[in-house]
Chains A and B, each alone.
Chain A
């Protein structure tokens, strides 16, 4: 039975969910929970918040599956990306705080202590710069670069045109590139 549900696409599962089919709901949640958690985490920077966002969004989906209307032409994932990103950005605006502890807890497999420290500093700096990007630039970057979605998919999720998305991506990456150069110059004291 589980295999039968796994073989179904999102639209078919959503049709079953609308009839109150719990197994279909379980299949949909199992299929997508990690990717939406990833997005929520990258937008909020806090795993507790990300978990809450994903959990609440999925429970809301169970309660009101007709919120997604397949006749509008958008895929389930496109629509749910919108739901998660809106919730995550709202939470982030409310909190406006970053969990430095979580950033430091990321494992580092480099052996040389100095190199590891330099690597960690650079990563923390860059991570901070990514989080400091304007919301729309950050969302565009996360969708295209981290979620590996096509530019068109990302534009659909954000409800903007392709050109606008490309402009956001360009500005985001150009800023980060400049920031990296700035970091290296600060580290070397301006020496080449």
Chain B
């Protein structure tokens, strides 16, 4: 195993052999034991990991679970999927609106546009310049 390869494995899996993939565990351990250089690489990584363990330590948050549970008590579940009748009602309303709209459009038909009246109304509103 090359130095770079081993270093990459240590960066990816860490120094704890329990986290190493089984297919490379034996060869990694053999390398560490046989070479002082590889052993030093591992020690460097162990030092970094030890220092990292001291970082980002979360504080204790006593009672967080109780606060969440209490807050949820005052909030009713509002999931639409949890209330199938509501989902069905919304879908039915959409379908009705669609059918009604289609029916009105079909039976009333499109009214012809009175072009003269339309022009007169537009010119009254915006002047006649736009038609010149």
**A and B associate:** yes
Q: Does B78 contact A (CB under 8 A)?
A: yes
- CB-contact partner of B68 in A54, A64, A151, under 8 A: A54
Is B44's beta carbon under 8 Å from chain A?
yes
Q: Is A42 an interface residue (CB 8 A)?
A: yes
B1 within 8 A of A: no
Partner of A62, one of B55, B67, B72: B72
Chain A residues with Cβ under 8 A from B56's Cβ? Answer: 41-42, 45, 127, 130, 142, 146
A62 smallest CB distance to B (angstroms): 4
Would you call A174 an interface residue if the criterion is a C-beta within 8 Å of the partner chain's C-beta atoms?
A: yes
Chain A interface size band reads 35 or more
In the complex with contacts A66-B81, A123-B54, A29-B48 CB distance below 8 A: no
The residue in chain A whose Cβ has the minimal distance to the Cβ of B67 is A55
Interface segment out of the listed A4-12, A83-91, A165-173 = A165-173
- Asked if A177 is at the interface (CB within 8 A of a chain B CB), the reply is yes
Q: Does chain B have a CB within 8 A of A106?
A: yes
- A41:B59 contact, CB within 8 angstroms: yes
- Comparing B5-13, B25-33, B100-108, B115-123, the segment that makes contact with chain A is B5-13
29 pairs across A/B with beta carbons < 8 Å? A30-B69, A33-B65, A33-B68, A34-B61, A34-B65, A37-B61, A37-B64, A38-B58, A41-B59, A42-B58, A45-B56, A50-B58, A54-B64, A55-B68, A63-B76, A63-B77, A64-B79, A64-B81, A65-B82, A66-B81, A123-B51, A126-B54, A126-B55, A144-B14, A145-B52, A169-B11, A173-B45, A173-B48, A177-B45
Query: Which residues of B line the A interface, CB within 8 A?
Result: 8, 11-14, 19, 44-45, 47-49, 51-52, 54-59, 61, 64-65, 67-69, 71-73, 75-79, 81-82
| Partner-B contacts on A (CB < 8 A) | 18-20, 22, 25-26, 29-30, 33-34, 37-38, 41-42, 45, 47, 50-51, 54-55, 58-59, 62-67, 102, 105-106, 119, 122-123, 126-127, 130, 142, 144-146, 150-151, 166, 169-170, 173-174, 176-177, 180
